[in-house]
Structure 1
Amino acid sequence: MQFDRKDKDDAKLLALYKTLLYPRMVEEKMLILLRQGRIGKWFSGIGQEAIAVGSTLAMQNDEYILPMHRNLGVFTSRNIPLKKLMAQWQGKVSGFTKGRDRSFHFGTQDYKIIGMISHLGPQMALADGIALADVIENKKHATLVFTGEGATSEGDFHEAINVASVWNLPVIFLIENNGYGLSTPINEQFNCKHLVDRAIGYGVEGIQLDGNNILEVYDKLSEIASSIRENPRPVLVECLTFRMRGHEEASGTKYVPQHLFDEWQKKDPVKNFEDYLVTENILDEELIATIKRSYKAEIEQEVEEAFNEEEPVANDSIELSDMFFPYQQELTQPQATKTEKRYLDAITEGLKEGMQRYNNLVIMGQDVAEYGGAFKITDGFVAAFGKARVRNTPICESAIVGTGLGLSINGYKAVVEMQFADFVTCGFNQIVNNLAKTHYRWGEKADVVIRMPTGAGSGAGPFHSQSNEAWFTKTPGLKVVYPAFPYDAKGLLIAAIEDPNPVIYFEHKYLYRSLSGLVPEGYYTVEIGKANVLKHGDQLSIITYGLGVHWALEYLNNHNEINATLVDLVSLQPWDKETVAKAVKATGRVIILHEDTISSGFGAELSAWIAEHCFEDLDAPVMRCASLDTAIPMNKVLEDSFLAKSRFAKTVEKILAY
């Protein structure tokens, strides 16, 4: 291994050695603790330290790094106390996740490190969002994100690099090619000669490095970071290295040929650099021993102090409240002046008010810029707010949701439009595993609104008409709202933008141009979690939301003989249990009406809750009226038969006759 010190003085080289040695010694201690049974799991980065240490030292302290689970050197190079890290690994209260997550699955704004989730690929899109915020703010910052050779097969890898390339984002995508994804060798993972060659397809620079050479990694990453701060653009870096331990210690290494260990042992990054410094008369055996004794004593002390800390005490109320960033909504009352607006125009106004109120709000989605969106909701927004904040995206829902989270991490707000709610499947992981869990895991907000044009009624078929709100109402950490009227559509959207927590905002496509109502001028908010009682009666209660509200109103307007209480939930998570309970008590008979399919639709949750909490107030079984348990057909006759509306009259007759 050849080292080129360039202009580094002896003190600089010695400091690099110490920073490289420390995580190796921590790892050796972890392996001892593992054999002693004092810890249960460890993902070793032995043999890969030069990548983590060299690249971290190349970054400025106020620049974000997004590491993986074999990058201990990132954390130690950012000077996070070992005691704090050990507390995290052991699930102590003083760890970054309070015992809620393990390993390096955490972030810390104090050290500008954003940790991974187990799905590996999604964090690359977060780097895009972090870098985008820097670009909009005109900050000359770079962002560094790690991935392994295995995760380069994930769609998230390709989406994130493509977005960064199209938007010229200053992101260093660093691939640690260590030869194996768990037990799968690289020849079974990709068929290109070098992973760095993938840069060509995205129109970005690609650089391959000896990942075991601390000086090569440090110098080249310093050069790249300095360059992209001034000339923002992504760079793909492949660092060649080898994993000297198993994927994690329990998996072992029997699947790796011995000759590979023999070959790479000679390339040990710590030993080779140590030998080099000896030849340069910067180190000698006595100084090496002194440094190691000092580190050993420090490591022993901090590890034991972490072990001696108390275990968490379970508290259900704290666990539940920590799913969300602390936030108390303060309602803004509407102005007296009102204008007749279509449902669609109310949404447009809500977005405009949000963009005017928050200079750090970015709208992203397919065709949302000059074209104005598939439904023209953002028509004219580029002229009003500029292309930096109203951004057309490639067709990559996962990357754009992740970019939204990255924006939030770096001080921005994001509204992401799914062109159709059906397409959210392509961004599902980012929503349910990143947006929803971020605050619970490490206390960071996820200030992102996902707009979801939803629902049937226009003959759009199985992939443009689904009602998929139940996918999200059962996911802790998400708020879900679903306005049925233009007034609520505007006020709820503004409220969702205000809220620093992730909000899934369902808007019914059928109502866009078919429904109008009085909408106040200016900025106002609607309470998230509060239902509206549209009619009061004593025969039965109808609990519904979205288009179901209008089905119920139409039916009741045509049947004046029926005296019903009609509740529009408006919000599905949280939902208004108090108002629902009052409606049940008032009539004793309940129909839950929704457009979604009947099995496991949100009505099932409502029905179970009412049966459990309002049983003594019921005079008849709770009845659900929902759509068929099939995909949504395109043909108008078939679609009408599919929808819950076709069965609503019979359901009313049945419950009144009970």
Structure 2
Amino acid sequence: MTFDRRAYANDTLLHLYRELLKPRLIEEKMLILLRQGKVSKWFSGIGQEAISVGSTLALEADEYILPLHRNLGVFTARQVPLARLFAQWQGKPAGFTKGRDRSFHFGTNDYHIVGMISHLGPQLAMADGIALADVLDEKPRVTLTYSGDGGASEGDFHEALNVAAVWQLPVIFLIENNGYGLSTPSNEQFRFKSFVDKGPAYGMEAVQVDGNNVLDVFDTIHRLAVDLRQNPRPVLVEALTFRMRGHEEASGTKYVPAELLQEWAQKDPVDCYERWLLAEGILTETARHSLREQFKKEIEEALAEADGAPMPTADTAHELADVYAPLREVMSYELGVMSSPDASDDSQPITHNSEPITKTLRFIDAISDGLRQSMVRHPDLVLMGQDIAEYGGVFKITEGFVAEFGKGRVRNTPLCESAIVGAGLGLSVRGKKSMVEMQFADFVTCGFNQIVNNLAKSHYRWGQAADVVIRMPTGAGTAAGPFHSQSNEAWFTHVPGLKVVYPSNPHDAKGLLCAAFDDPNPVLYFEHKLLYRSLSGPVPEAFYTTPIGEAALVREGSELSIVTYGMGVHWALAACDELKISADILDLRTLLPWDTEAVRRTVAKNGRLLVLHEDTLTGGLGGEIVAWVAEHCFQHLDAPVQRVAGLDTPIPFAPPLEAGFLPQQRLKERLMWLQGY
């Protein structure tokens, strides 16, 4: 292997060596501990250290890196304390995830690192969001994110590169091409010869580097970073390398031809660089030995500290409390008392003694009003979605927003739902808020992984708030068929870490949206399309919030209770009027976490309960509510609890079939049965 020192000083060359050697010695120790059962799993980066170390040292300390599970050198080069790393691998609270996730599945904002999740691709889009935040703040910084050659087959890879290219984001996409995705060789992963062929197709520069040559990696990334800080754009870097161990230790390397292992053993990044330094007289044999002993001592001391740290104790209250990021005190944003969490002068709340001034707004205009006021209230809020800029969105909710807030904050996106949701999380890492508009709730499937595995688990895993609101135009009644009319809110009410809201009227439409933006947690905001222009009501002109997690009793009655939300509120009101039934009608408003005490109160009062929703019956939220009532309110029941919902079919297109799918007629039948029971 040939090393070109260029104009680098000896101190720089030796610094590269020290940081290259350290993760190798840690790895050798970890392999021993793995065999002793003292760590549960290990993904070895032996043979690939030059990429992690060279690229990390090439960046500034405040520039984010998003590594994979074989990039130990990123963490050690950023000087992450070894005792905390070892505690992390042992599942101890002294680590970074309090024992809730393993290996490198964590981030640390103190060291500007965001770790991976097992799905490999989502961190690429997060890098887009972090870089976007830097661009919006006019900070000359780059973001570096890793992908393996196998992981680059995922759709997240394409989406992240495409978005970065379209938005000209300063992201370095570093592909560690080691020839295998677990045991699958490259010729069974892709048909192109080199990843540099992909760059021009995305409209970006692409370069290839010897991934085992730490000096070449360092120089290449350093030169690119200097350029990208001044001329923001994405670059794809392919680093050719090889891993000398299995995908993880249990998988072994029997699938690798022996001659291939022998060939790459001659290119070992640590041994080759060390021999060159010795030959050039830059490193002495004495210094080499001394450094190894120093690192071994440091490793043993850190291991002793980690070994002495306690294992976590299961505490239900503590675990549940950490699912959501805590709300700020200024979240008490009732009508009449208002303050701004982003006010730089820490001004006192303004108290209004008179009744709030209201105006009559359509449901759709209330959403737009809340969105506009939230953009003013939160200067770091960024809106992203297909056609939401000059066009104003397919429903025109953001019409005029570009003129008012600029294209930096109101951004048209490519058809890349996964990448845009991931970018929202990346913006959160840099302290910004974001809204992602799904053109229709049906399309959220394309961003499902980011929502349920990345956004929802972020705070619980490593304390990073996912300050993202996802707007979801939902529901049937417009004869739009099975791909534009689904009610899919129940997909998300099973996912801890998400909040799910679903307003039924203009007042709550604005109030819940404003509350969602004040909340640091990921909020899915469902808005029924049929209500957009068909329903109007009084809405306060000033900013206000409707508390997330609190149901509203929209009508009081004495015969029975109906628990519902969204369009179901209006169906229940109409059916009770037609049938002359006196009923409590409870609008949940929030589906996760839902208001159990409000349900308890109405069941205890009336003893008869019907749960109604537009979503299909099987697996709908109604089943959860009924189960909870059976467990906690059985003594209050005077009749079997009833569920009324959409048919267990996809939503059909033709109006007569759609009407048969929807539950209005079945609602009347069940109400009369329950009344007469």
- Shorter-chain TM-score: what band? over 0.9
Question: How far did residue 646 of structure 1 move?
Answer: 2.2
Q: Which residue of 2 aligns with 1:290?
A: 290
For 1:13, give the aligned amino acid: L
Please state if 1:590 is matched with 2:609: yes
Q: Which residue of 2 aligns with 1:646?
A: 665
Show CA shifts across 1:574-608 (max 9, x none). 11111111110111000001000000100001000
Please state if 1:610 is matched with 2:629: yes
Q: Which residue of 2 aligns with 1:164?
A: 164
Q: Which residue of 2 aligns with 1:122?
A: 122
| Structure-1-length-normalised TM-score | 0.99
The correspondence of residues 467-546 of structure 1 with structure 2, limited to 5 A, is: 467-546=487-566
For 1:367, give the aligned amino acid: D
Q: Which residue of 2 aligns with 1:425?
A: 445
**Structure 1 Cα separation of the partners of residues 463 and 603 of structure 2:** 38
Question: How far did residue 284 of structure 1 move?
Answer: 2.5
Please state if 1:301 is matched with 2:301: yes
For 1:115, give the aligned amino acid: G
The correspondence of residues 49-60 of structure 1 with structure 2, limited to 5 A, is: 49-60=49-60
Q: Which residue of 1 aligns with 2:43?
A: 43
**Structure 1 Cα separation of the partners of residues 458 and 268 of structure 2:** 36
The correspondence of residues 51-200 of structure 1 with structure 2, limited to 5 A, is: 51-200=51-200
Q: Which residue of 1 aligns with 2:571?
A: 551
The answer on whether the counterparts of 1:332 and 1:523 sit within 8 Å (CA) in structure 2 is: no
Question: How far did residue 285 of structure 1 move?
Answer: 2.0
The answer on whether the counterparts of 1:461 and 1:634 sit within 8 Å (CA) in structure 2 is: yes
The answer on whether the counterparts of 1:44 and 1:248 sit within 8 Å (CA) in structure 2 is: yes
Question: How far did residue 316 of structure 1 move?
Answer: 0.4
Please state if 1:460 is matched with 2:480: yes
Question: How far did residue 277 of structure 1 move?
Answer: 0.5
For 1:572, give the aligned amino acid: L
Question: How far did residue 527 of structure 1 move?
Answer: 0.6
The answer on whether the counterparts of 1:477 and 1:502 sit within 8 Å (CA) in structure 2 is: yes
Question: How far did residue 535 of structure 1 move?
Answer: 1.2
**Structure 1 Cα separation of the partners of residues 568 and 513 of structure 2:** 20
Question: How far did residue 90 of structure 1 move?
Answer: 0.5
**Structure 2 Cα separation of the partners of residues 99 and 598 of structure 1:** 38
Q: Which residue of 2 aligns with 1:387?
A: 407
Show CA shifts across 1:535-559 (max 9, x none). 1111100110000000011112223
For 1:471, give the aligned amino acid: W
Q: Which residue of 1 aligns with 2:379?
A: 359
**Structure 2 Cα separation of the partners of residues 564 and 298 of structure 1:** 71
Aligned length: 657
Structure 2 gaps, min length 5: 337-354
**Structure 1 Cα separation of the partners of residues 501 and 644 of structure 2:** 20
Question: How far did residue 479 of structure 1 move?
Answer: 0.5
Show CA shifts across 1:591-648 (max 9, x none). 0010000001000010000110000000001100001000000000000000111211
The answer on whether the counterparts of 1:48 and 1:243 sit within 8 Å (CA) in structure 2 is: yes
Show CA shifts across 1:475-516 (max 9, x none). 000000000000000011000001010000000000000000
Q: Which residue of 2 aligns with 1:333?
A: 335
| Structure-2-length-normalised TM-score | 0.96
For 1:228, give the aligned amino acid: L
Report SS of the residue matched to 1:294: helix
Show CA shifts across 1:257-301 (max 9, x none). 001111001101111110110111112222211111111111111
Q: Which residue of 2 aligns with 1:572?
A: 591
**Structure 1 Cα separation of the partners of residues 665 and 248 of structure 2:** 56
Question: How far did residue 121 of structure 1 move?
Answer: 0.3
Among 594, 599, 624, the residue aligned to 2:643: 624
**Structure 2 Cα separation of the partners of residues 579 and 322 of structure 1:** 24
Report SS of the residue matched to 2:492: helix
**Structure 1 Cα separation of the partners of residues 299 and 376 of structure 2:** 52
Q: Which residue of 1 aligns with 2:388?
A: 368
Report SS of the residue matched to 2:120: coil
Report SS of the residue matched to 2:87: helix
Question: How far did residue 383 of structure 1 move?
Answer: 0.5
Paired-residue identity, %: 62
For 1:308, give the aligned amino acid: G
The answer on whether the counterparts of 2:335 and 2:356 sit within 8 Å (CA) in structure 1 is: no
For 2:616, give the aligned amino acid: T
Show CA shifts across 1:446-468 (max 9, x none). 00000000000000000000000
Question: How far did residue 331 of structure 1 move?
Answer: 2.2
The answer on whether the counterparts of 1:63 and 1:141 sit within 8 Å (CA) in structure 2 is: yes
**Structure 2 Cα separation of the partners of residues 206 and 100 of structure 1:** 38
**Structure 2 Cα separation of the partners of residues 68 and 387 of structure 1:** 33
The answer on whether the counterparts of 1:539 and 1:564 sit within 8 Å (CA) in structure 2 is: yes
**Structure 1 Cα separation of the partners of residues 32 and 238 of structure 2:** 31
Report SS of the residue matched to 1:348: helix
For 2:608, give the aligned amino acid: R
The answer on whether the counterparts of 2:38 and 2:90 sit within 8 Å (CA) in structure 1 is: no
**Structure 2 Cα separation of the partners of residues 12 and 135 of structure 1:** 30
Report SS of the residue matched to 1:423: helix
Report SS of the residue matched to 2:527: strand
The answer on whether the counterparts of 1:339 and 1:520 sit within 8 Å (CA) in structure 2 is: yes
Q: Which residue of 1 aligns with 2:219?
A: 219
**Structure 1 Cα separation of the partners of residues 265 and 368 of structure 2:** 61
Please report the RMSD computed on the Cα atoms of aligned residues, expressed in angstroms.
Answer: 0.8
Show CA shifts across 1:187-246 (max 9, x none). 100000001211111000000000000110000100001111000000000000001000
Report SS of the residue matched to 2:562: strand
For 1:145, give the aligned amino acid: T
**Structure 2 Cα separation of the partners of residues 71 and 579 of structure 1:** 50
Report SS of the residue matched to 1:340: strand
Structure 1 gaps, min length 5: none
The answer on whether the counterparts of 2:182 and 2:247 sit within 8 Å (CA) in structure 1 is: yes
**Structure 1 Cα separation of the partners of residues 357 and 81 of structure 2:** 58
For 2:659, give the aligned amino acid: D
